Structure 1
Amino acid sequence: RPHVKAAERFHRWHSHFGVMRDMQNASTLPARARRARFDTIIQSVEPKTRETYSAGLARFHEFCDAQRVPEEKRMPASDFLLSAFVAHHAGRVGKSCVDNWLAGLQLWHNLHDAPWLGNRALTAAAKGVHKLAPASSSRARRAPVTVEHMRRLGEHLDLADSFDAAVYAAAAVAFRGCCRLGELVVLSAATYDATRHVGRGCVIERGTSVSGVHFRRVRLPWSKTSGAAGADVILSASRDGVCPVTALDNHLAVNSGAPLDVPLFAWKDRHGSWCPLTRSWLLKRCSAVWSACGMATVHGHSFRIGGATDLLLRGVQPAVVAVQGRWKSRAFLQYWRNVESVIPDFIDRA
């Protein structure tokens, strides 16, 4: 197991069982087919998630090394060994941490055609870890971006400026569209991928609903829940001072002339070059405004959390909120904030 970056562990770390199983499978399939299988399975997990999962491999082998567990016993890992590994960390980590570690180990087994033997003992140990989890293992709930945050942003940014227009548009779309920032902006110029990030050449439908509300439908080429099938973000005009339709139209006008092969929220620098709006630039500009206004600084996912919470506070049915945020399950309920205001209103209208 060479010392490599976390993202490379699944590719570079091997086991006695994995090597022997690959030799056995060589009598069934050629190397090219076996490699295609490996590459396809590993693509089932997003790169960032693989980095998180890879911690499971590291922690598992650290445990096995400390306990002098022979290499041949580590894969396939028995229910006994897996439950002992989990129990070793009881009282020090939380459930989500253990779940990620186990998901990483299961992926590692799948990649090397090893049976997964985790069973009743592992399930019981995982439940025990959850009950014994220290308070420090629970991350404080992220505060949401609010309508007031967005109003202050619109008031203090220069919406005739190329950069500020892009920032406000991206923020308004993320908030009103209940978007993940990763669906709208990039981590860096080098990470822009037209097949995964919304670009200037994307489909933007302009329309008016039967009740006269102007809207924009922005087509995403990829989303976390639908993958390459893409998804639609519906932006409805609003008269509360935070209108995503106006913000997006303003950005497209101020930054007109941008080539179709740049990110949707690209802006022009003083040298005339088109720059992608990165996540860090967006958050830094927003935080500067909010700090100057004496408001709490928020995180990237706070836009999605705040957008969902705002819709609920306005009386929008939870089912509609789920569709707007493109949630495939009731998982979006974890994003509710200000429930003390949301629930009484829904009960009162029942």
Structure 2
Amino acid sequence: MLIHYLDDFLGGDKDTTAANALLQLFIELMQELKVPLAHEKTEGPTEVLVFLVFHDQFWLTNDGAELYTDSAGGNGLGFGIYFRGHWACARWPESWEKEDRAFPKASTGSGRGTPSRPAPSLGNLQKRADTLLRCSLADNTRRTYTTALNAFQAFLAKYNLKQNMPIPAPYLVWFIAYCFENNCAANTIKTYVAGLNYIHKINGFQDIHSMFVVNGLLEGCVRAKGHSRDARRPITKSILTEIIAALPSVCYNEFEAKVFKAIFSMAYFGLFRISELVATTLSGSSNQIKRKDVAITTNEQFMSVTLRIHKTSQHGPPITLKLPREKTHPCPVLAMLEYLSLKPAGTSAFSHSNGLPVTRQQVTAVLNKCLTRAGHSTQNFKTHSFRIGRATDLAIRGVQKTDIMKLGRWSSQAYKKYIRV
């Protein structure tokens, strides 16, 4: 038997002799075909083969893969592994003890005793540099810049313009005017230019924002269109109550109703951005809260939520928010307790019964179904409407603006844009 997986070849047979014969036959065949093999990576025959599989965007965090391992060196000891709700442990092979094999020890940083590694190729260094640059951007920012690039490429295609780097100044002028003519908001045009500017600077080209004509055009867009009001409508406490009541009718089982009830309640009462609570893609994201970030006091009167990464602080210290138990329904503490009593094992704070993380797209889809079921139009209701609604309700109740800013983690007067009074 021979299996070809990416650039690896895996072979096997019923016993060691036959497996060894197969291995030698394969090596001779590769030599005859002049296919180079990495002999230092060739293993076997063996009953256990260890190999690495890399994600298409590289292995960035253990949290993303939900894989954790630990080991203890020394005779009679072993190792343990946890992977997505499953765990296992075992002792080191007895043959290692009989061989008096030396177990690796932790490096002290001096470089002594550590095995030498061949220097990575320049190609691998470039790949690593590309990965680090991708990590420098938040997921949402990367998606926004990709949208900007797609819009610019669509503009080039429409006018049969050749894509050049650096971008010629006339192309930028025409692109901004094109976006304006297509009724793009002034802020959207600014975002598109910021995306193109990132690509420019990352390639060592001129800062687009240093161009007088570009800044003039962007300012002109603002003055010509005026400051457009945010059209997103607030999900107030009364609307929140209605959409939560609709959940059993739109969700296909009790568990799904519980998880979305907890998400909706927490998004409203905690003034959370939805990307802080759930994954932005099905593959998961390292930015949303984890199960370990949510704690409920023993008397069930308060819930603390720790944000390790958020919009206004990508690298700062974590912040912990404290949500009290509400005297009436809906209540974020009770909703979370109900959900946690059914939650499967896993690191994500919010996941489906099969362990997969809940995504922002799924929250949007369920929200729209609930709004329709409750008799509301879905127009202008977004996931950010929870944050807008809570800020509005607090202002109507007469809560001081400094307290609203603290609860919503606003450090400027931007909070005023969220209040619909």
Instruction: Report the TM-score when normalising by structure 1.
Output: 0.69
Residue 238 of structure 2: aligned partner: 148
Secondary structure, aligned partner of 1:308: helix
Find the partner of 1:125 among 189, 214, 217: 217
1:227-246 CA-partner distances (Å, limit 9, x unpaired): 25443332122224222122
- Given that 1:200 and 1:262 are in contact with CA atoms closer than 8 Å, whether structure 2 keeps it comes out as yes
Find the partner of 1:242 among 300, 305, 330: 330
Residue 175 of structure 1: aligned partner: 268
Higher relative contact order, chain-length normalized (CA < 8 Å, sep 6+):
1
Q: Read off the aligned partner of 1:321 and give its amino acid letter.
A: I
Alpha-carbon deviation of 1:307?
Answer: 1.6
1:51 aligned onto 2:51: no
Equivalent runs, 1:293-304 vs 2, <5 Å: 293-297=374-378, 298-304=381-387
Residue 412 of structure 2: aligned partner: 329
Alpha-carbon deviation of 1:275?
Answer: 4.5
Structure 2: where are the runs of 5+ without partners? 1-56, 58-121
Q: Read off the aligned partner of 2:350 and give its amino acid letter.
A: F
Alpha-carbon deviation of 1:114?
Answer: 1.6
- Given that 2:243 and 2:374 are in contact with CA atoms closer than 8 Å, whether structure 1 keeps it comes out as no
Quote the Cα distance in structure 1 between the aligned partners of 2:369 and 2:395.
28
Equivalent runs, 1:15-26 vs 2, <5 Å: none
Secondary structure, aligned partner of 1:149: helix
Quote the Cα distance in structure 2 between the aligned partners of 1:99 and 1:292.
37
Find the partner of 1:202 among 293, 310, 319: 293
1:162-213 CA-partner distances (Å, limit 9, x unpaired): 222211111100000001112212345x4224x32323233415288xxxx9
1:115-159 CA-partner distances (Å, limit 9, x unpaired): 325333222121222333499xx6861111111122224445559
Name the Cα RMSD after superposition: 3.6
- Given that 1:234 and 1:324 are in contact with CA atoms closer than 8 Å, whether structure 2 keeps it comes out as no
Equivalent runs, 1:245-284 vs 2, <5 Å: 245-253=333-341, 255=342, 258-259=344-345, 261-268=346-353, 273-284=354-365
- Given that 2:405 and 2:415 are in contact with CA atoms closer than 8 Å, whether structure 1 keeps it comes out as yes
Alpha-carbon deviation of 1:70?
Answer: 9.0
Q: Which has the higher helix share?
A: 1
Quote the Cα distance in structure 2 between the aligned partners of 1:336 and 1:101.
27
Alpha-carbon deviation of 1:67?
Answer: 8.4
Instruction: Report the TM-score when normalising by structure 2.
Output: 0.59
Quote the Cα distance in structure 1 between the aligned partners of 2:366 and 2:152.
41
Higher alpha-carbon Rg = 2
Residue 21 of structure 1: aligned partner: none
Q: Which moved more, 1:35-44 or 1:297-306?
A: 35-44
What is the aligned-residue identity percentage? 24
Secondary structure, aligned partner of 1:247: helix
Find the partner of 2:202 among 96, 100, 111: 111
Quote the Cα distance in structure 1 between the aligned partners of 2:325 and 2:198.
44
1:231 aligned onto 2:316: no
Find the partner of 1:185 among 245, 260, 278: 278
- Given that 2:272 and 2:387 are in contact with CA atoms closer than 8 Å, whether structure 1 keeps it comes out as yes
Residue 20 of structure 2: aligned partner: none
User: How many residues get paired?
Assistant: 292
Q: Read off the aligned partner of 2:218 and give its amino acid letter.
A: A
- Given that 2:280 and 2:359 are in contact with CA atoms closer than 8 Å, whether structure 1 keeps it comes out as yes
Q: Read off the aligned partner of 2:398 and give its amino acid letter.
A: G
Alpha-carbon deviation of 1:61?
Answer: 5.8
Structure 1: where are the runs of 5+ without partners? 1-7, 9-29, 339-350
Equivalent runs, 1:1-80 vs 2, <5 Å: 38-58=130-150, 60=152, 66=159, 71=164, 74-75=165-166, 77-78=168-169
